[in-house]
Amino acid sequence: MRRVLALACAAFVSSAVLGAVPAPLAVAGPDDGEAVLRADADGPLRIRREGGVATFVGTPAGTEIDNPAVGRGTSVSAAARAHLARYGAAIGADRAGTRLVEHGRSAAAAGTSVVRYQQEVDGLPVLGGDVVVTLDKDHDLASLDANLSDAASVGSATVTEDAARTTALGSVGRSRVKGATAEDLGRWVLDPATLPVPAITGARSAWRFEVRAGDGVRRMVLVDDRSGVVLLDVDLIQHADRVVCDRANLNPVDDPPVCTAAYARTEGSGASTVADVNLAFANAGRVSTFYATFGTPDMQDLTALIGHEAADGKKLRSTVRVCITGIPCPYDNAYWNGQAMFYGKDYPRADDIVGHEMTHGVIERIAGLIYFDQSGAINESLADIIGEIIDHQTLAAGESPSEFLLGEDLPDQPPFRSAADPTAYYQPDRMTSTRWYSGEGDSGGVHTNSGVGNKAFYLISQGGTFNGQTITGIDAGDQGLAKSARLWTQVIETIPAFAEYDDLATVLEQSCADLQGTVLTAADCTAVHQAVLATEMTTRPTNEPVRDAARTCPGTTVKRVLLAPASETEQAAFTAAAGWTRTPDATVVPNAFSGDTAWFAEDGATNNESLVAHLPIRADDWIDLPAGQPAYLAFRHWHAFEYWADPEKEYYDGGTVELVRDGATTANLESRAWAAYAPKRPLAYNLLPSGRTAFAGTSKGWTGSRVDLSEFAGESVKPQFTMHYDPYWGAPGWYLDDIEVYTCDIPTGTPELVGTPALTSGTPRVGRKLTISGVAWSEAGTETTYEWRRGGVPISGAVNASYTPVYADLGKVLSVVVTGTANGLRSLAHTRTTSAVQRGVITAPSKVVASGTPYVGRRLTALRGTWSPSGITFRYQWLRDGRAISGATASTYVIRRTDKGHRIAVRITGSRTGYTSVARTSASRSVTR
């Protein structure tokens, strides 16, 4: 599934409309479309499906698809249209309301060609709705990559473009951006089924703008054309014929201008006296040479592809030593802003960084990968990869070809990232890594989650053993990484605009298949496949937050509902302030977790600088929480509140949860114990009292929360949910569903703990037995069970009252869970926890002896005495006057002539895994004869 949240700002030129080609085959659905594909193919196909419809069809090396309507003489555009006409049903291209408009075609490596189509619904382009058709050298179908909306139509706009533009400018201006202007890009369709934007539910249309402020601010903003709220706000800044300008680390400005005059260096002007100018110029040349040599045909003239047009024509424009208002000068970064490259002091020294930034331009022009979430991480990774290949092709003196570091040429600072070991720089090296970032900052973790792609690049290029795969690298013996260069430029040429890592996996393998026999071998494609497996590209990240809170009770207690989540009748159970409504209604898009309805409050704006809104919805009836037992409030919700994520998070609006208590006092619940998703974000501009936090930002879909109400046991309460928003702008809002309050009853006859269990006192150590004692129960004949856990995970076989820590426990926290069973009922679980387990202690004798007569030629024997525990390994070192004798490491030592007149002793060291080593040294013996 593709979760990318925005579309690159490429201009779509309609040069061919699929509706004008011959009618598609009369097929009933995707299965029949696949049947035609398989019938026309002379070998196996690579097919990926979502929801019963193919999203990718590829031909492994050796397989050809024979479309009778296509021959070698058929033009690229006509061949692509013919393939869609014959096979389009397999990918859902024939769905109602859809037409596909060709918006780009290009030549790729090994004679292949690429044609890209934009989906339109009701004449409006769909964000993320695209099809990429790759043709082989004979114009037969090599692959189809599709991401299409099911929407058949959209409604009319009720918010004008002028009003939406004002909202877009105001939203960006809120982040203290000054002098912003907005380019109108018309109406577009957003469909979360194709492009899961967290701020919307269901397909809807929006006004799209590109907002700029100088050359340092470039954002894509989409405003709902019916409600007028901001649905999406994405940062598009991506951190030959050459010209270079020099800002000289002077005069910080909000946004440095593109280099169009007052050049510090141009073609033929001669070298500058400023090193950064010359390095930016030289490294831009190296990048141009790389693409001319290894790029697909569309990439080979880099000036034509990414150069910026000004009065003196199109040129590759770089500005060095920039400084930006509000950021320390010298500026410690570099970026591509969609038009040109900008470098802080010293950054042009690093050819991999120059290659990285210019490759952002190539990616934008060729693939349109947006800079957000997994798509943005892949964008960053591709830029890293090309930058690193360029670095290896132009190694400086002293650089090692075995290093795969980004930014290692910068003075006075460490590298930024490592492709060989992303975890060394706090990046994930696989999808299930705990370092995977699932938050909202850094445009969804683009500079962190790029580690997965970087690790795949390293494994493909250099090989190695990783995560169960032993890989032979494709670049063995080639410092210039030529095969990798061809592979990854083909990936850039053919990857769809809205890609996640599972898309990158299929594109990588298909790109290798396309190049097999000309540039790459079957063994190379095996390496690509193994790297995809090793980095787990087709697996969902496991470090994403829990999406729902369990509505369960501890132990054998029994759940009893006090406020039922009757989703279709909750309207009668709550009183809502103005601003809350029950979906669906005339203006709110239907959205519910259970059934068809839910509570909803729009995240609005008071439009009065002295007025903010606090809108509660509260249960009508008092709920009696039983004394002496647990109680919980659980609910499911979906929210998108106004916030600003980069460069620093700032949350403007949000939602809180309270408990109205008998006597009309209110308890704020954010500080209580929550399961799964908790309200922990502060709101800006004092919208909440100091110390309060809220649900804020986006929930990224439906999620479930649960809060412990046990401290209110014995009271009568009413749960309350409050929407808070300030005077400015807004966002879609907050949906609530399945609101439930329940308690956990203890069955009669259940054993209850009456003793005070305690663990062995003192520091827990490897080899030191731990025992829990003092366990007593209320019911006679209660059977006690024990379960020891390491870091919360049960230890196999550790089911007694005592447990002796082993080496695997070193540094871990241990716990023992005690339960009792009587009358067929199990007690609550009771847990006691240790501190982290330390190394064990070896007990050694007070002295050891070097036994024997200390004469030349006689043998001395080390007598070590009694040590404990068992299993100790001993090392011996004989000493002459307290200094180690080379090679004298046995338990015996024959005295040499050189020892005469000196003192001989032995040092015995005892070691055992998980224990602190101990050494004892014998008394010295004088060698007199």
Are residues 328 and 281 part of one domain?
A: yes
For 784-803, write each residue's pLDDT tens digit: 999 999 988 999 999 999 99
211 and 342 co-located in one domain: no
Does any domain span residue 380? no
> Catalytic pick from 34, 120, 357, 536?
357
CB burial of residue 498 (10 Å; 0-12, 13-18, 19+): buried
**Any residues with CB less than 8 A from the CB of 6 and at least 6 apart, and which?**
127, 195, 197, 220, 232, 234, 370, 372
Question: Does the pLDDT at position 191 exceed 80?
Answer: yes
pLDDT of residue 472: 96
Maximum mean pLDDT: which of 217-221, 436-440, 485-489: 485-489
Residue that is last in its domain, among 814, 840, 866: 840
DSSP per position, 689-744:
-TT--BB-SB-SS-EEEEEE-GGGTTSEEEEEEEEEE-SS--EEEEEEEEEEEEEE
- Rounded to a whole number of angstroms, the distance between the first and last alpha carbons of the chain is 85
The confidence score (pLDDT) of residue 375 equals: 87
Looking at the fold, whether 893 and 786 belong to one and the same domain comes out as no
Residue 331, token pair as written in the block = 């500026």
Note the pLDDT tens digit of each residue in 295-319: 888 888 898 898 988 888 888 899 9
pLDDT of residue 29: 52
The per-residue pLDDT for 608 is 83
Does the residue 399 lie in any domain? no
Q: Which of 179-183, 520-524, 590-594, 880-884 is least confident?
A: 590-594
Instruction: Report if residue 415 sits inside a domain.
Output: no
**Per-residue model confidence (pLDDT) at position 240:** 59
| Res 5: pLDDT | 25
Q: Which residue has the higher pLDDT, 668 or 235?
A: 668
Residue 25 reports pLDDT greater than 50: no
Let me know whether 125 and 192 are in one domain: no
pLDDT of residue 118: 92
Residue 75 lies in a domain: yes
Q: Which long-range contacts does 481-485 make (Cβ < 8 Å, 24+ apart)?
A: 481/389, 481/392, 481/393, 482/294, 483/519, 483/520, 483/524, 484/385, 484/389, 484/457, 484/460, 485/290, 485/293, 485/294, 485/386, 485/389
Does the pLDDT of residue 7 top 60, yes or no? no
| Confidence (pLDDT) at 331 | 87
- 882-909: average pLDDT: 94
Give the model's pLDDT for residue 16.
31
Domain match, 573 and 639 both: yes
Mean pLDDT in residue range 891-920: 94
Residue 788, pLDDT score: 95
pLDDT tens digits, one per residue of 326-358: 788 888 888 888 888 899 899 998 899 999 999
Residue 110: the pLDDT is 72
Site of tokens 């309350």: 720
Identify whether the C-beta of residue 426 lies closer than 8 Å to the C-beta of residue 448.
yes
594 and 685 share one domain? yes
**Confidence band of 31 (pLDDT split at 50, 70, 90):** low
% the chain with pLDDT above 70 = 92
Do 691 and 577 sit in the same domain of this protein? yes
In 456-474, which positions are buried (b, 16+ CB within 10 angstroms) versus exposed (e)? bbbbbbbbeebeebebebb
Condensed to tens digits (0 to 9), the pLDDT of residues 645-696 reads 655 678 999 999 999 998 778 999 999 999 988 999 999 888 999 889 999 9
Q: Read off the pLDDT band of 187 (50, 70, 90).
A: very high
Please give the Cα distance from 409 to 350 (Å, whole number).
5
pLDDT at 177: 67
Work out the average pLDDT over 14-22.
Answer: 33
pLDDT digits 0-9 by tens, 710-756: 999 999 999 999 999 998 888 888 999 999 999 998 887 888 888 88
Report residue 133's pLDDT band, with 50, 70 and 90 as the boundaries: very high
Of 83, 356, 447, 724, catalytic:
447
End-of-domain residue from the set 366, 400, 419: 366
Q: What is the rounded distance in angstroms from the CA atom of residue 558 to the CA atom of residue 542?
A: 31
Residue 532 lies in a domain: no
656 exposure class (CB count in 10 Å sphere: 0-12, 13-18, 19+):
buried
| 244/420: higher pLDDT | 420
Which of the four pLDDT bands, split at 50, 70 and 90, describes residue 176? Answer: low
Instruction: Write down which residue in 215, 235, 255 finishes a domain.
Output: 235
Residue 467 contacts residue 534 (beta carbons within 8 Å): yes
Does residue 8 register a pLDDT over 50? no
Q: What is the 3-state secondary structure (H, E, C) of 249-315?
A: CCCCECCCCCCCCCCCEECCCCCCCCHHHHHHHHHHHHHHHHHHHHCCHHHCCHHHHHCEEECCEEE
pLDDT band at 369 (very low <50, low <70, confident <90, very high): confident
802 and 816 both lie in a single domain:
yes
Same domain, 685 and 796: no
Residues 592-607, mean pLDDT to the nearest whole number: 85
pLDDT recorded at residue 10: 28
641 closest CA partner among 595, 688, 708, 608: 688
Pair 782, 912 in one domain: no
Cα dihedral 273, 275, 279, 282 in deg (nearest 10): 20
Percent of the chain with pLDDT over 90: 50
Instruction: Please check the confidence at residue 484 and state whether its pLDDT lies above 90.
Output: yes
Average model confidence (pLDDT) for the chain?
A: 87
Q: Stretch 38-45: mean pLDDT, rounded? A: 90
Considering the domain architecture, whether residues 576 and 648 belong to the same structural domain is answered as: yes
Least confident of 524-528, 737-741, 822-826: 822-826
pLDDT at 197: 67
Give the count of beta carbons closer than 10 Å to the beta carbon of residue 178: 11
Could you list the residue range(s) of the whole structural domain that residue 877 is in? 849-926
CA–CA separation, 103 vs 122, rounded Å?
17
- Asked if residue 316 is part of any domain, the answer here is yes
**Secondary element (H or E) of residue 37:** helix 30-40
pLDDT in tens, 256-295: 888 888 888 887 788 888 999 999 998 888 999 999 889 8
- DSSP assignments along 712-727, one per residue: GTTSEEEEEEEEEE-S
Domain CATH code at residue 690: 2.60.120.200
CATH of the domain at 780: 2.60.40.2700
675 and 779 share one domain: no
In a domain, 526, yes or no: no
Q: Strand, coil or helix: what is 316?
A: strand
Binned at pLDDT 50, 70 and 90, residue 22 comes out as very low
Q: Is residue 494 part of a domain?
A: no
Tell me how many domains the chain contains.
Answer: 6
pLDDT band at 918, cuts 50/70/90? very high
pLDDT classification of 3: cutoffs 50, 70, 90: very low
Q: Is 642 a catalytic residue?
A: no
Q: Is 50 assigned a catalytic role?
A: no
Distance between CA atoms of residues 409 and 394, nearest Å? 12
pLDDT band at residue 6, thresholds of 50, 70 and 90? very low
Round to whole Å and give the CA distance between 413 and 407.
Answer: 9
